[in-house]
Amino acid sequence: MTHSLSIEDDIDGDTLHEECGVFGILGHPDAATLTALGLHALQHRGQEAAGIVSFDGQRFHSERRMGLVGDHYTDPATLARLPGDRSMGHVRYSTTGETILRNVQPLFAELEVGGIAIAHNGNFTNGLTMRRQLIADGAIFQATSDTEVVLHLIARSKQASSSDRFIDAIRQMEGGYSMLAMTRTKLIAARDPIGIRPLVMGELDGKPIFCSETCALDIIGAKYVRDIENGEVVICEIQPDGSITIDARKPEVSKPERLCLFEYVYFARPDSVVGGRNVYVTRRNMGINLAREAPVEADVVVPVPDGGTPAAIGYAQESGIPFELGIIRNHYVGRTFIEPTQQIRAFGVKLKHSANRAIIEGKRVILVDDSIVRGTTSVKIVQMIREAGAREVHIRVASPMIFHPDFYGIDTPDAEKLLANQYKSLKAMGDFIGVDSLAFLSIDGLYRAVGGAPRDNAQPQFTDHYFTGDYPTRLLDRESTSNVRKLSMLASNG
């Protein structure tokens, strides 16, 4: 298969792509509309595709689309095809499986116990292993998403109820995930045993809601109830009299929670509360700690938008150097119709970012970014700042160097493509980027910013393998040499 590089490849190939987002509500007359609004608030977690499934008491209804939530679910005709008082939805960035319509979640199947829809945020580290075993036993897969493995395990479970079958299935899966399932009467929420991926419970007009982040509750005026605990399964069921029962089941042996640090560094929306911590405050704290660890004489502190903004504010506050918007972001880039010639690709970053010359010219500039992956975007931004007349350019990164790939739902490059693995010193790295100096926040500085204490090396408080190499679970698919990913799927437009 040939692949022609696009402008978006050039601009976006140097970022950590979002995972996915889930939202579900039970018993509300405007279920699908509220789900669409919730997914809109979670759009930052995945922009490739979105799907919603509803149930009207008789039938399940599914609308799955490629593209953004607002491109499809603002259409009254689309929402009219999603009747019912229970609904769940998903926004997707594909970390496993191709970007085709049949992979778009929620996935739905008719089973012996009735219809069930499922969707999840994260990644199973034994998904390919389980898939291979199921295929060997005669299972037929329609999608390349690892979510489909759970459907097969539910179908094959010997448990009596749909709830027990679901629990039986997910207890066989490993990795980092938050998962929702919907049956004719139930909305079920589950979180992985160490809580790598976030999941919260809310309430609107007395009806239960589950979603990836609190910002999805805020957009519909719902009340935050609590975080789903790591390893917990919560089963909400509509009774014949219309009341809703809530059954929370916890694992027999609980493990300490280890939330993914990148939720705080990059993924979660700044106005969300993750693990009881406001994301904006944690990012500002990262900037404060960065200013303490890596001070430099300069005239302005400039964020690399939008991710670097809270940390840049913290850096400016702590250092006393003025905060300025020296880079202006164009939020309306979208997909371009321009033929991606090399000359056009050279515009690269300028399609998304423009230097504010009046702020930059003649100044010693500190650029604050949330993270650096491959460094190619940093090279272009520094070049743009120098072209705008900066006298010096210093980069300060509000997270540690990334040395290791992720297998829990973050789309990271292979280890050898990460900037930190390509150069033996900070100076060499800085020379590649073209800056006068380069510094990263320490792992303890990051831990203090988020949790208030340095890293406990014996029992780390968070998931941080991309910085440390300390993977919190087995990586069964990676350990097995026979699990090289070769998913042969029929080429399809949908």
Residues catalogued as catalytic: 20
Cβ-contact 100, 492 below 8 angstroms:
yes
- Residue 414 backbone dihedrals phi, psi, to 5 degrees: -60, 155
The CB density around residue 329, as the number of other CB atoms within 10 Å, is 15
Beta-carbon contacts of residue 332 (< 8 Å; ≥ 6 apart): none
Cβ-contact 123, 407 below 8 angstroms:
yes
Beta-carbon contacts of residue 405 (< 8 Å; ≥ 6 apart): 412, 413, 414, 415, 418, 466
- Token pair of 118, please? 């499922």
Beta-carbon contacts of residue 281 (< 8 Å; ≥ 6 apart): none
Q: Between the CA of residue 90 and those of 1, 125, 407, 427, 452, what are the distances in Å? A: 29, 20, 20, 43, 33
The CB density around residue 114, as the number of other CB atoms within 10 Å, is 12
Residue with tokens 């970390």: 95
Cβ-contact 157, 105 below 8 angstroms:
no
Please state, in angstroms and rounded to a whole number, the distance separating the CA atoms of residues 427 and 430.
5
Please state, in angstroms and rounded to a whole number, the distance separating the CA atoms of residues 297 and 295.
7
Please state, in angstroms and rounded to a whole number, the distance separating the CA atoms of residues 447 and 96.
29
Please state, in angstroms and rounded to a whole number, the distance separating the CA atoms of residues 377 and 280.
24
